Amino acid sequence: MDNLTAGHLRIAVDIGGTFTDLAAFDEAGRKISFGKALSTHHHLVEGIESTVKGAGVSFKDARLFLHGSTIAINTLLERTGADTALLITQGFRDIYEIGRINRPDAYNLFFKKHDPLVRRSSRYEVKERLRADGNVHRELDESDVEQLADDLLARGIEAVAILLLHSYRNPAHELRVKEIIQKKLPKAFVTASHELTQEYREFERASTVAANAYIGPRVEKYLGEIETYLKKLDFPGTFYAVQSNGGLFPVSDARVECVRILESGPAAGVIGTQAICAELGLSDAIAFDMGGTTAKAGVIYNGKPLTSSSALIGGYDRALPIQVPMMDIFEVGTGGGSIARLVEGNALRVGPQSAGSQPGPACYGQGGQNPTVTDANLLLGRLDPAHFLGGQMKLDVAAAEKVMQEKIAGPLGISVTQAAEGIVRIAATAMSYAVKGVTTERGLDAGAFSMVVYGGAGPLHASAIARELGIRRVLVPSSPGHFSAYGMLFSDLRYDYVRSCFERLATVSFDRIEALYQEMEERGRAAIAKSAIEPDSIVISRAADMRYVGQEHAVTVDLENAIFDRADRAAIKSAFDAVHLQRYGTSAPNEPSDLVSLRITVAGLMSKPPREKLPMSGEKPPDEALLAPRKVCFSAQAGFVDTPIYLRDKLQAGNRIHGPALIEEHASTTTLMPDDLLVVDAFGNLDISVGGGK
Amino acid sequence: MSGNAAKADPITVEIVRNGVLSVTEEMKTNLMRTAYNMIIYEALDFTVGLFTATGETVSIGLGLPMFIRGMSETVKAKLAKIGPENMQPGDILITNDSYTTGSHLNHVTLSLPIFHEGKLIAFTCCMAHWLDIGGSIGQVTTDIYSEGLQIPIMKLQRAGVLNEDLVDLIKMNVRLPDTAWGDLRAQITAVTSGERAFRSIVNRYGCDDVLNSIAAIMDQTEAEARANTRTIPDGVYEAESFMDDDGLDIGTHIPIKVKVTVAGDEMTIDLSEVSHQVRGFYNSGITTGFACAQVAYKCLTTGTTYPVNDGSFRSLNVIMPPGRVISATRPAPMRWWMTFPMTVIDTIFKALAPAIPDRVIAGHHADLVTTTLHGINPLDGRFFIAAVGPLGGGWGAKSTEDGVGVTVCINDGDTHNSPSEQIETKYPILVEKYELRQDSGGAGRHRGGLGAECVVQALAPIAFNSTIERVHCKPWGLDGGLAGDGNLIDVRVNGEWRGKLPNAKMFTERIRPGDAFMVRSGGGGGFGAPVERPADQVVFDVVEGYVSAESAERDYGVILDASGKKLDVGATQARRQTLVKSKAAE
């Protein structure tokens, strides 16, 4: 099936909120090229077209097209999805609206709940009922479903989600309902919960399947447009989408399981980090991404990204849960556009309100009246007013200074510099909590990790954030602004499956476990066999969600295949004890344990772009890399110091730079604090020893 | 050791503020993920916090608002009894004394003193609801001794060494010893992980700067509370309401009366005219009496300010004599401590409605709407206790927006309901429905949120218990808005609903396979006259099924055309005029 003659390019495109990024790997010439263009929200395909042109590559020569996009998440968050109906077991029509009834903002009388994607009059009840063990309590009333389908047809419903209780134990009713609906509404997008997740918790499953239906028609249309576009360009290869778990799947899968691509961009960044770890022989690293409004952190642990079995989309208070495997990414509302303000009692706050791109920070000169993190960086000399975005945008220092004085420094009785430096420090600590969210809260010691930093604003703050966490090594990859697209080039085909399986470990039959794993594995192998590309090899990874008997929350334990060959209960138990100890600081080796769910990942490994080393130059950077020095403030006490400025593009492998210094490139600046030491490594990464220059 | 706010620099203050929030977040994560009973891990019925060396609240994580005082007062009581000089690193102090925590014996509360260079600098604290603490079940208790094991203030762990004798004593006195022991271990994890997180902040920023910053955070919160109190017109505001009964003297209402005095930037909440303590188990301790006033005050003045800290309450005076139903004294029974205080809080909002109509909220369902089951589980032949609920109920409307539907009551914050798929997997029951209650929200210019209805069928013999309140005192409306429906329960035997129950309380009601119980939570009160609600919004409510066509016509004066989906303009105009006239005639 593998169409190797078709082309030699692997083209990855990531469409983000502001930019569309491209990274292309030439399998023949063994080189990677990049492209960048503004995203075109009215017609996203245009953005792809301009990046391809900009990078000087052609789809005619491509073997693979790998794609991540904000289309799915934006359709969800901006509420621009389809007219959707939700079919649900009788008696449970309202669970999607009721949700989990919690009120996290507990003292706010004006609190709000989540806002369902399907309104009540579009939620229909199905006459059927299964029991918790999967047995039928009430037979499915098929004629009733037929009538209901007529009503959906008459109403012009575009998408239908199906959630029946306990379908994770027995999907028969969901399958039959889907069949009836599809027959009656052949044009509608129809999706059933068990196809996406086979874990218990009806609200979370309802939310997942409703989201899939809601975004389905739009995502399907979008992917179809791209396919048409690719065909027009005589693209001879295969089109894959990037999932929220960082893996690839064929576009035919993405068109029906749209909810799996919600967080494709951020996930690809973590995959890129994994690639850098492989390059450098690192087993543990934090993937840190900072943009205009948020900062996100993911984790590579023992060489693999940490994933989570579900995520809350849209903030904790009003979240819509999505129960499919995703990269474990923690997000905080701090970015370059975060606004600094004083509240009652002269208390200083930074974010989560953001100036966005309109009006943007005060220094953009577009009427922004609030000082932001970007303004603070400018006032500290860390950003060059003349060369922001490669000089495309001039920054207005006076405007930044005025709002900083009026809004912060004046009322607090401190200097503008003190205020700016303080804001940047507060932002750094706030962002360090994103990192703690995926490390400390998972029982990992952040200080023992290296940090790979990307996104436009990340390298500016990385050294300060690292100090908050005791991190000693920061890596800024080349083209940090294209990092998600770059990461996609390293993705593998990936299928994740899960089956609820409530059993005592001590008594569970290994035959039953093996049957469930085998069934999932066969599905995965079949899915990969269907794909046009034959992977280098297939890797099966098993895991189980486990808990002590009596506990509810389970932790996911990776289990080697050999354990099952030996039917080794004790090994499973001790693996679980170890994970529990690592995560929570306690374990109970003498307490019995439960299996809750069995998980499997079927990965089809793809060949990776090469790790070719650059020739090493001397320690001293070439003269053409050095720009005129600038006065920059690194701490309010020390004030402004003459600081050398380097052009990243001109730096060569082997160059060493002692802090303080700034390294500038298009759309990003790296801050090297006074006691940091930077080495340009053989792969072109800026490898910073935090505090290592003393 | 305590801090000096004047010495704090504004940058470090904000950094420490973010830091203490993350300390309590981490404690919460760890407790939740390691707990053994569903009330902790699924309902999140617990509270974690960080306190000063004198027991003042620095940060309380998301948890039970009603426990806003419980941990601080418990730390203070521990300081008073044991003395700071007798505490050392590695100690963990325990108690569940109802008259200290203000709540029931299920609330086992652990505190860990944190030292820096030999000096006591702070405490972490963790309260969690244990599923069982012994005592009699399935009846209204009449004194504390029948409610279970009382653990006085003592050391659970001394210099890192666990008091195994105490653990044995506890295990022998509870029905589910393994669960209790698992929860206790989870609580130890929570307080020790909080200590570790706080110490890392102290190590990074310096102990003095951190303590000074904490003092400044509390001052900042105080400033905000005072500023927002100043905008309330000075005056004396009063309101009353009542509870159904104490579970024993059925039909004897229990009066709640509050008096709020606002003068400048201070508020005084006088709760001395709340009913005296009662015979049945609806009492709570004086700590909770103070909490009633503080929760109401925080909602009105610093509602979205974090961390939750004691700076919020310096401008609040509370008059709370002992012996009231929310300041009960030994040996008053306290098992269902949480119910009455919620209505006290709502009554404070009601009192202030004339003064600040745009900041208060109409009455809510004001009950956990939780029922408990016990019996022998046919799955494993073992005794079980299960909670069905909290169901969530309707919240009151405000001057600017509708009330929120089916959300947990004000006693709780980040409390979740239990998935039906989960409780059906664990217990011999089948949930027949869990849905919105049409028309349960009070009509108004802004409608009250809807309550829920849940019907649960027994698959094996079970005993059913309900302690639900507020059947008779319905969640009131404000400014002409109508009341929402009250809470309600019923039992179905051989297909017949019993009906006509005097209240929503039932104890050890035997339910056989195939029979069922039903629980309905109340709606929220409306705000403003219903005829002022835009007709298209009423039509929307009818089309979506939140409001019936009958209620639309009767309460709102809105009539839909024959399609049942569109407004009948003429008929509506006429009906609304009639309603306005008859209202004027009143």
Q: What is the pLDDT of residue A588?
A: 81
Mean pLDDT of all residues in A213-223: 97
Report the residue from A433, A580, A591 with minimal CB separation from B18. Answer: A433
Q: What is the pLDDT of residue B1?
A: 63
Report the residue from B295, B416, B430 with minimal CB separation from A131. Answer: B430
Q: What CATH number does residue A34 fall under? A: 3.30.420.40
Q: What is the pLDDT of residue A2?
A: 39
In a domain, B109, yes or no: yes
> Residues A227, A156: one domain?
no
Q: What is the pLDDT of residue B30?
A: 81
In a domain, A620, yes or no: no
The neighbour count for residue B490, using CB atoms within 10 Å, is 17
> Residues B127, B173: one domain?
yes
In a domain, A624, yes or no: no
In a domain, A110, yes or no: yes
Q: What is the pLDDT of residue A39?
A: 77
Residues in chain B: 586
d(C-alpha B280, C-alpha B367), whole Å? 17
Residue A584 above 90 pLDDT? no
**Which two tokens mark A210?**
């409703």
Kindly report, residue by residue over A60-111, the tens digit of the pLDDT. Answer: 999 999 999 989 999 999 999 999 999 999 999 999 999 999 999 999 999 9
Helix and strand totals (H; E) in chain A: 18, 35
**B362 in reach of chain A (CB within 8 A):** no
> Residues A355, A320: one domain?
yes
B interface test, pick of A89, A92, A101 with most B CB neighbours within 10 Å: A101
> Residues B523, B543: one domain?
no
Report the residue from A94, A165, A349 with minimal CB separation from B436. Answer: A94
DSSP state of A649: G
> Residues B434, B554: one domain?
no
Sort out which chain B residues have CB atoms less than 8 A from A91's CB and list them.
431-435, 455
In B83-193, where do the E strands start and end? Answer: 92-95, 107-116, 119-129, 154-158, 161-162
> Residues B75, B146: one domain?
yes
> Residues A184, A276: one domain?
no
> Residues B179, B155: one domain?
yes
Which residue did the predictor score with more confidence, A550 or A407?
A407
> Residues A339, A477: one domain?
yes
Inter-chain touch A92–B38, beta carbons under 8 Å:
no
Q: What is the pLDDT of residue A4?
A: 42
Of A473, A491, A509, which one is at a domain's C-terminal end? A491
Minimum Cα–Cα distance from A426: chain B residue:
B15
**pLDDT < 70 regions, chain B:** 1, 35-44
In a domain, B290, yes or no: no
Inter-chain touch A131–B37, beta carbons under 8 Å:
no
In B417-573, where do the E strands start and end? Answer: 429-436, 452-458, 462-468, 488-493, 496-497, 504-511, 516-520
Of B512, B528, B544, which one is at a domain's C-terminal end? B528
Residue A336 above 70 pLDDT? yes
Range of the domain at B383: 361-528
CA dihedral for B61, B63, B69, B72, sign (positive or negative): negative
Q: What is the pLDDT of residue A106?
A: 93
Kindly report, residue by residue over A589-614, the tens digit of the pLDDT. Answer: 888 999 999 999 999 998 888 877 88
Sort out which chain A residues have CB atoms less than 8 A from B179's CB and list them.
550
Residue A437 above 90 pLDDT? no
> Residues B506, B545: one domain?
no
In a domain, A611, yes or no: no
In a domain, A619, yes or no: no
**B403 in reach of chain A (CB within 8 A):** no
In a domain, B503, yes or no: yes
C-beta of residue A102 within 8 angstroms of C-beta of residue B44: yes
C-alpha gyration radius of chain B: 25
How many domains does the structure of chain A reveal? 5
Count contacts between A and B (CB, < 8 Å).
221
> Residues A311, A233: one domain?
no
**Which two tokens mark B184?**
């206790």
> Residues A120, A200: one domain?
yes
> Residues A172, A202: one domain?
yes
Kindly report, residue by residue over A22-49, the tens digit of the pLDDT. Answer: 999 988 877 888 888 877 777 888 888 8
> Residues B473, B377: one domain?
yes
Range with the poorest average pLDDT among A230-244, A371-385, A521-535, B97-111? A521-535
Minimum Cα–Cα distance from B543: chain A residue:
A121
In a domain, A622, yes or no: no
d(C-alpha B537, C-alpha A302), whole Å? 56
- Which residue(s) pair with A677 in the sheet? A658, A689
In A419-568, where do the E strands start and end? Answer: 450-454, 473-476, 493-504, 537-548, 555-559
Kindly report, residue by residue over A620-631, the tens digit of the pLDDT. Answer: 999 999 999 999
Q: State the complex-level ipTM.
A: 0.95
Three-class SS state of A627: strand
Kindly report, residue by residue over A620-670, the tens digit of the pLDDT. Answer: 999 999 999 999 999 999 999 999 999 999 999 999 999 999 999 988 899
Percent of chain B whose pLDDT exceeds 90: 87
> Residues B63, B185: one domain?
yes
d(C-alpha A583, C-alpha B313), whole Å? 37
Sort out which chain B residues have CB atoms less than 8 A from A102's CB and list them.
44, 407-408, 413-416
Report the residue from B359, B408, B435 with minimal CB separation from A102. Answer: B408
Q: What is the pLDDT of residue B36?
A: 66
In a domain, B534, yes or no: yes
Percent of chain A whose pLDDT exceeds 90: 75
Mean pLDDT over each residue of chain A, to the nearest integer: 92
Q: What is the pLDDT of residue A34?
A: 85
Report the residue from B224, B417, B546 with minimal CB separation from A100. Answer: B417
In a domain, B271, yes or no: no
C-beta of residue A3 within 8 angstroms of C-beta of residue A236: yes
Inter-chain touch B417–A98, beta carbons under 8 Å:
yes
> Residues A318, A341: one domain?
yes
> Residues A563, A638: one domain?
no
How many domains does the structure of chain B reveal? 3
In a domain, B257, yes or no: no
Burial per residue of B438-472, b for 16 or more beta-carbon CB atoms within 10 angstroms, e otherwise:
bbbbbbbbbbbbbbbbbbbbbbeebbbbbbbbbbb
Of A572, A605, A638, which one is at a domain's C-terminal end? A605
Dihedral class, residue B366 (left if φ above 0, else alpha if ψ from -120 to 50, else beta): left
pTM: 0.93
**B493 in reach of chain A (CB within 8 A):** no
> Residues B550, B459: one domain?
no
**Which two tokens mark A359?**
């009006």
In a domain, A623, yes or no: no
Sequence-separated (6 or more) residues with CB below 8 Å from residue A514: A564
> Residues A487, A511: one domain?
no
Of B221, B251, B270, which one is at a domain's C-terminal end? B221
Which residue did the predictor score with more confidence, A395 or A7?
A395
B interface test, pick of A86, A92, A100, A465 with most B CB neighbours within 10 Å: A100
**B298 in reach of chain A (CB within 8 A):** yes
> Residues A188, A236: one domain?
no
Inter-chain touch A131–B29, beta carbons under 8 Å:
no
In a domain, B312, yes or no: no
Range of the domain at A146: 80-217
Pairing, β B254-263 against β B107-116: unpaired
Closest of A492, A494, A544 to residue A517, by C-alpha: A544
> Residues A648, A499: one domain?
no
> Residues B49, B117: one domain?
yes
Three-class SS state of A88: strand
Kindly report, residue by residue over A161-173, the tens digit of the pLDDT. Answer: 999 999 999 999 9
Inter-chain touch B424–A584, beta carbons under 8 Å:
no
Of B480, B496, B528, which one is at a domain's C-terminal end? B528
In a domain, B338, yes or no: no
> Residues B402, B518: one domain?
yes
> Residues B478, B578: one domain?
no
Q: How confident is the model at residue A6 (pLDDT cuts 50, 70, 90)?
A: low
A interface test, pick of B11, B40, B382 with most A CB neighbours within 10 Å: B11
Q: What CATH number does residue A389 fall under? A: 3.30.420
**B249 in reach of chain A (CB within 8 A):** no
Inter-chain touch A200–B189, beta carbons under 8 Å:
no
